[in-house]
Structure 1
Amino acid sequence: MTAQPSPSLSPGTFDHRMTVFGTDEDFVAAALPFLAEGLAAPDEPPPTAILAPDKLDLLRDALGADTRHVGLLPHTDWYTGSAANAVARAAAHLAGHSGPGGRAHLLMEPVWNGRAGRSPRESAEWIRYEALANLLFASSATTAMCVYDTRTAGAVLIEAARRAHPDSGVYEDPVRIAAELDAVPLPPTPSDAQRLTEPAPEAVRAWAIGHGLGVADAESFVTAVTEAASLGQVTGALLWGEAPGCVCELTLAERIDDPLVGFVPPPATGPAPGQGLWYARQVCAYVDVRDAAGGGTAVRLQYA
């Protein structure tokens, strides 16, 4: 089995922009025209700004009475977990709050001084999200402008993000960016990892609870492993780590070369069994899909 990108993800009208600034004044100067564009766009709901609380205050002051025409949401209410969770949140928002064809204007700022920017590992996953968003939302008529504040995001991350935004002048193929991220080696498997011939749910559950996960978290972890295992024939499984960072790595006989695997939102509104790697990405902090050393695919799931 070789998974292929969904045929519905054809090039469309998704307008994915970025703005970079280092002062409050420059932020307001970039944000106000974007919001005005959204307010003037036909067949659209009011624009939504998903920003740090201090920037929401700046907008309230700048907009005055017009604040009531713009949706304002603290970014900690939107970006509540992994980059895959952000894909789900955006898809759900557009399904319930956009105009025809997904028409909407979104001003978006990830939580760079929190989860998304606290380590190179998490920042790399965020760049993956920014790149793959160009494919995931390609058929949507959404206009999104991503906010990059040099006071919180950092120069290296901003330069990487430019490659993921078509208006930057240095935009690159999202598949190439994903491949570059996957070329960075993962931490090695520890020598004391437990080996299973197959990831039987009862064995994974017992191991997870024995390594500190509570019953509810252990069940989510087991389901994530089971969903990942549904991608193909499992030829081996390894378990290591302690709660909350429990890890399972599956080796599949088949090669999976779809960079969007597990990122394409299913029809269901929330994660549920039967959604394969989508479910796993929603409940795990990291899901890595790499070529296995001896052929096939290695799928590594880290719970937190």
Structure 2
Amino acid sequence: MSARTHAQSGPDQGEFDHRMAVFGSDDEFVAAALPFLAEGLAAPDEPPPVAIAAPAALGLLRDALGSDAGNVGFIPHTDWYTGSAANAVAQGAAYLAAHAGPGGRIHLLMEPDWAGRAGSSPRETAEWIRYESLANLLFAPLSTTAMCAYDTRTAGPALVEAARRAHPGTGVYEPPPALVRELDAVPLAPAPDDAASLPAPTAEALRAWSADHGLPPAAAELFSTAVTEAASALGPVAGALLWGRAPSCVCELHLPHRVADPLAGFVPPPTGEPAPGQGLWFTRQVCAYVDVRDHAGGSTVRIQYA
């Protein structure tokens, strides 16, 4: 199987260039990565390109680059992809703010950690495709060039085919709102019959419930803050349900209106580290899952701590 890349090179100012490389062997990975890194090395007004990949893949690139390896950054993907898809948004935004050239110019070769969280379940696959799709909107104002590396030996054919729909130039690309709406059309499992009803999701009530259901004090505080941040950002809230036990405590907010915005909670705030006062962004950063489902009577926002 030959390596296949889909790309348009040389983004204009403010045009995020989001590419995809698909490969099934070490040789194909190197064949796709080397021209991309060479393009970054030759690009004016850019810092050195960066490869974010599995440690073994980085070793292959160092050997293939030879003397040019000293002009390329290398980051093990286990250091970059350390949490949820929302965490990956934060990591990328922070890195670009700190290291990119004018207008966000930099070449990033990015291989997700499919042996870690990103490839652990169909649920995580859907979260990852959502991130890949929303990246086209989130980073649209920047002149960043990113090539996402998909290894069919670890990512699997279903994930690769889904990812093609999130990358321009693949022939099957779908605009983010359409693809995200499709992901959000998958119904959530119903809340259990024994879920506790909470008319108003106050921090005090949430902390008490969380403690009763096994979360240690620090985690109970974080979970209650995450829920109240979401409620404050998206309110008014018509009521809430709580269920589960530590660490998988869940709060479901019921809103009498639709959220509608596919980027809700994904746009990084001006500050760096997640902190209270950042609304749904904070919630997405500190919780494992935040599912938003719009329906005829409003919206359901389901927040799962871990």
Equivalent runs, 1:71-82 vs 2, <5 Å: 71-82=73-84
Aligned Cα root-mean-square deviation (Å): 1.1
Identify the residue that residue 129 of structure 2 maps to in structure 1: 127
Identify the residue that residue 25 of structure 1 maps to in structure 2: 27
Identify the residue that residue 95 of structure 1 maps to in structure 2: 97
Identify the residue that residue 287 of structure 1 maps to in structure 2: 290
Q: CA deviation at 1:292?
A: 4.5
CA distance in 1, matches of 2:57, 2:33: 10
Identify the residue that residue 253 of structure 2 maps to in structure 1: 250
CA distance in 2, matches of 1:109, 1:266: 25
- Choose 258-267 or 283-292, whichever is displaced more: 283-292
Amino acid at match of 1:269: G
Identity %: 73
Give 4+ residue runs of structure 1 displaced > 6 Å after superposition: none
CA distance in 2, matches of 1:179, 1:292: 12
Identify the residue that residue 8 of structure 1 maps to in structure 2: none
Amino acid at match of 1:41: A
Answer whether contact 1:254 1:297 (CA < 8 A) is retained: yes
Q: Deviations over 1:189-213 (max 9, x none)?
A: 0111111111111111111111111
Identify the residue that residue 176 of structure 1 maps to in structure 2: 178
Aligned to 2:64, the other structure's residue is in SS state helix
Normalising by structure 2, what TM-score? 0.94
CA distance in 2, matches of 1:141, 1:232: 35
Aligned to 1:234, the other structure's residue is in SS state coil
CA distance in 1, matches of 2:295, 2:181: 15
- For structure 1, list consecutive stretches of 5 or more residues without a partner in the other structure: 1-10
Higher relative contact order (CA 8 A, sep 6+): 1
Q: CA deviation at 1:64?
A: 2.1
Q: CA deviation at 1:254?
A: 2.2
Answer whether contact 1:51 1:110 (CA < 8 A) is retained: yes
CA distance in 2, matches of 1:152, 1:49: 18
CA distance in 2, matches of 1:217, 1:110: 28
Equivalent runs, 1:104-115 vs 2, <5 Å: 104-115=106-117
CA distance in 2, matches of 1:212, 1:60: 47
Equivalent runs, 1:1-304 vs 2, <5 Å: 12-230=14-232, 231-292=234-295, 295-304=297-306
Answer whether contact 1:84 1:129 (CA < 8 A) is retained: yes
Q: CA deviation at 1:214?
A: 1.5
Answer whether contact 1:251 1:292 (CA < 8 A) is retained: no
